[in-house]
C-alpha cells in the first residue's frame, strides 16, 4: 500500500479507541467503519485499490482489534458505537466527512447521521442487507428476538463476560477465519493483522471480545428504522454482494427497505457486484471503481435517481 499509515489512540471514559489512518490528512477525510466481529483491517485490501484522493481513517470498535472493551455488564447495543464515532469526530475536529461501512457499520452510520445531521456528506455502504434484516425480528418477532439475545446472555452472564480462553497457533487462527468467512489464507492474514494477541508458546489469543457476539439491535419499529435511514440522508451508495447471505423473512424485509429508499430518495444509488458478504476483501477491484466514481467531487448526487 502506497498510502502512508499511522496508528494512535483516542481516549474514552472506558479506555482507548485504537485508530489507524492511510494517506494525507490534508485531504478530505473518510471514516471507515467495520462490521460484526471484525476490525479496521477489513478495509486494507480495498484501500489498495482506491486513489489517494482522501484521508482514510478507521478504528477498531470496543472489544475488537486493538481497542479496549466496554466495561463488563449490560449487553452492548449498536447505538453505543455511535458514541464512539462522536468521540472520534470530536477528536479529529472534523466539520464534515465521508462515511464508508461494511455490514453492521451501516446501521451505526445511519443512527449517527440521524443524530448529527449534516456532518456526513456522502455514505458508502458495503453489503448492508444482513444487519438490516435483523430489524425484521426486532419488530415482528419480539419474543424470539428477546430470548435469542437477552435470555441467552443473562442466563450465561459469566460465560459472555469472562471471555474466551482459547489459544491458537497462527495456522489455526488463519484456518479458522478461512472457514468462517470463505476467504483465502492471505486474505485471512490481513483480517487477523489487528486481532492477534501473543499468548506464549507460539500461540495467540483472538482479541475479539466474546460479549460482542451478542451486540444488540435497537428496539425500534420498521417505520422508525426507515425514518432513521432516510431523514437528512446524504448522497448514498449501496454496494450489494450478489451472493446474499440473508435467509428467511429478514431477506425480503431488507430488500424492501432498500427498494423503498431507491424509489424515494433522489440521492440513493445501488450497485450489485459479484461475490459474497466479504466481497470488499475477496474482490476489492470490483468495488473500487464504483466507489471512486461516486466520490468524485464534480458528481452531484442530489439530483440522481438511478440504480446502476
Upper half-sphere CA count for residue 80 (Cβ side, 13 Å): 17
- Quick one: which of 43, 40, 49, 45 has its CA closest to 20? 40
Q: Distance between CA 214 and CA 54 in Å, rounded?
A: 34
Pairing of strands 196-200, 97-102: unpaired
The single residue of 21, 39, 103, 207 carrying the catalytic annotation is 103
Strands of 236-241's sheet, edge to edge? Answer: 5-12, 15-22, 55-59, 29-33, 97-102, 120-126, 236-241, 268-273
Residue carrying the nine cell digits 482514510? 56
Sequence-distant (6+) residues with CB within 8 A of 77 are 215, 216, 217, 218
Owner of C-alpha cell 449490560: 74
180 is catalytic: no
What is the distance, to the nearest Å, from the Cα of residue 249 to the centroid of all Cα atoms in its chain? 23
Kindly list the catalytic residues.
103
Amino acid at each position: 500500500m502506497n498510502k502512508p499509515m499511522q496508528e494512535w489512540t483516542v481516549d474514552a471514559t472506558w479506555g482507548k479507541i485504537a485508530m489507524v489512518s492511510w494517506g494525507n490528512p490534508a485531504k478530505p477525510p473518510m471514516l471507515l467503519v467495520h462490521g460484526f466481529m471484525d476490525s479496521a483491517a477489513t478495509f486494507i485490501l480495498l484501500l489498495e485499490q482506491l486513489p489517494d484522493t482522501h484521508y482514510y481513517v478507521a478504528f477498531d470498535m470496543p472489544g475488537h482489534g486493538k481497542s479496549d472493551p466496554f466495561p463488563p455488564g449490560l449487553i452492548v447495543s449498536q447505538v453505543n458505537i455511535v458514541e464512539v464515532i462522536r468521540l472520534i469526530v470530536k477528536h479529529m475536529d472534523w466539520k464534515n466527512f465521508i462515511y464508508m461501512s461494511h455490514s453492521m457499520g451501516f446501521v451505526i452510520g445511519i443512527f449517527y447521521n440521524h443524530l448529527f445531521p449534516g456532518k456526513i456528506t456522502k455514505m458508502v455502504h458495503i453489503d448492508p442487507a444482513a444487519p438490516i434484516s435483523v430489524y425484521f425480528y426486532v419488530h415482528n418477532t419480539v419474543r424470539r428476538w428477546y430470548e435469542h439475545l437477552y435470555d441467552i446472555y443473562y442466563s450465561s452472564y459469566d460465560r459472555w463476560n469472562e471471555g474466551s480462553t482459547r489459544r491458537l497457533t497462527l495456522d489455526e487462527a488463519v484456518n479458522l477465519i478461512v472457514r468462517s468467512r470463505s476467504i483465502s489464507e492471505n486474505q485471512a492474514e490481513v483480517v487477523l493483522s489487528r486481532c492477534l494477541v501473543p499468548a506464549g508458546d507460539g500461540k495467540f489469543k483472538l482479541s475479539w471480545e466474546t460479549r460482542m457476539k451478542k451486540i444488540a439491535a435497537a428496539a425500534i419499529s420498521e417505520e422508525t428504522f426507515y425514518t432513521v435511514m432516510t431523514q437528512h440522508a446524504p448522497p448514498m451508495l449501496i454496494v450489494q454482494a450478489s451472493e446474499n447471505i440473508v435467509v428467511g423473512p429478514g431477506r425480503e424485509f431488507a430488500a424492501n427497505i432498500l427498494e423503498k429508499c431507491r424509489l424515494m430518495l433522489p440521492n440513493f444509488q445501488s450497485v450489485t457486484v459479484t461475490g459474497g458478504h466479504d466481497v470488499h476483501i475477496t474482490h476489492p477491484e470490483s468495488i473500487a471503481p464504483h466507489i471512486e466514481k461516486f466520490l468524485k467531487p464534480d458528481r452531484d448526487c442530489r439530483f440522481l435517481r438511478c440504480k446502476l
